[in-house]
């Protein structure tokens, strides 16, 4: 995306439309290019659990250039310095993990905004501002163009969700089912009845507040069911786990065909 060009994905999400998304967790420019060419709307570059750094992030975004996919990042933490560096790399969507209160959510939003509404450092030299080429247009438009959402992953976040949703410039909520389940005492089991009940409560509150509702899914059937429940964005494929699943399937087909134990 160039200088002052509008973030079409943010516009679509804020209009209540459905957006396709995939994880980039291999810290690879090759898989970023493959998935961008496949036609995803958003590619969520994982910097919380994946091994990438800022240099890898930039190479992944460069590999997406020319395709419709808009680069989003799951930040490693709610840290304004890390968020600043991620945004300076040229990201247009931000997922901040493990946000447990309205105060923390407000800090995440401020980290993505220039003063006076935020605390992001102003510079025309980074990649996001095109290295000084048309930097003014980027600096003027970034505040409105960057999509910001925080993750609900703990009972504390659920408890303070009403206050979190009051933050005007917070665009959306991402439900992290595995972390939420684990923090509720159901280790990695988001299918537990009590967890599903809490997730339904979160969904209802987010949709009622008019915020974008997002989450993750392991397959398209589950993702489609979530879209039909009102989700705007579901991350339903990964450049690592999906490859692993397909690889296991192919190996098992080979063993079955030739009766290999």
Q: How many helices (H) and strands (E) does the chain have?
A: 12, 8
Q: How far is CA 253 from the centre of its chain?
A: 34
Is 130 among the catalytic positions? no
* Pick from 103, 112, 94, 109: nearest CA to 164: 103
Write down the residue that tokens 């692993």 correspond to. Answer: 244
* CB neighbours of residue 122 within 10 Å: 10
Q: Are 35 and 68 in contact (CB under 8 A)?
A: no
Q: Distance (Å, rounded) from C-alpha 161 to C-alpha 83?
A: 22
Report the first-to-last Cα separation within the chain, whole angstroms.
Answer: 51
Cα-based distances in Å from 232 to 44, 166, 204: 15, 19, 13
Q: Distance (Å, rounded) from C-alpha 111 to C-alpha 173?
A: 17
Given 49, 166, 229, 250, the catalytic residue = 49
Q: Are strands 212-216 and 93-96 parallel, antiparallel or unpaired?
A: unpaired
| Secondary structure string (H, E, C) spanning 183-210 | HCCCCCCCCCHHHHHHHHHHHHHHHHHC
Both tokens of 144, joined, read 């409105």
Residues labelled as active-site residues: 49
């Amino acid at each position: 995306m160039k200088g002052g060009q509008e973030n079409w994905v943010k516009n679509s999400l804020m209009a209540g439309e459905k957006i396709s998304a995939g994880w980039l967790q291999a810290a690879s420019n090759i898989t970023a290019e493959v998935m961008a060419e496949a036609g995803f709307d958003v590619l969520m570059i994982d910097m919380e659990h994946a091994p990438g750094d800022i240099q890898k992030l930039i190479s992944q975004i460069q590999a997406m250039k020319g395709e419709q996919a808009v680069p989003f990042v799951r930040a490693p933490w709610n840290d304004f310095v890390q968020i600043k560096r991620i945004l300076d790399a040229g990201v247009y969507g931000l997922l901040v993990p493990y946000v447990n209160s309205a105060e923390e959510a407000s800090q995440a939003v401020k980290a993505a905004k220039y003063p006076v509404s935020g605390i992001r450092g102003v510079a025309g030299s980074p990649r996001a501002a095109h290295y000084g080429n048309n930097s003014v247009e980027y600096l003027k438009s970034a505040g409105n163009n960057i999509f910001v959402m925080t993750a609900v992953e703990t009972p504390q976040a659920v408890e303070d969700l009403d206050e979190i949703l009051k933050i005007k410039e917070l665009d959306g909520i991402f439900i992290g089912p595995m972390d939420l389940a684990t923090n509720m005492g159901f280790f990695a089991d988001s299918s537990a009845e009590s967890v599903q009940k809490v997730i339904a409560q979160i969904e209802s509150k987010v949709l009622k507040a008019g915020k974008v509702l997002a989450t993750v899914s392991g397959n398209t059937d589950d993702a489609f069911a979530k879209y039909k429940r009102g989700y705007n964005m579901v991350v339903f494929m990964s450049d690592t786990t999906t490859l692993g699943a397909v690889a296991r399937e192919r190996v098992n087909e080979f063993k079955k065909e030739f009766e290999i134990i």
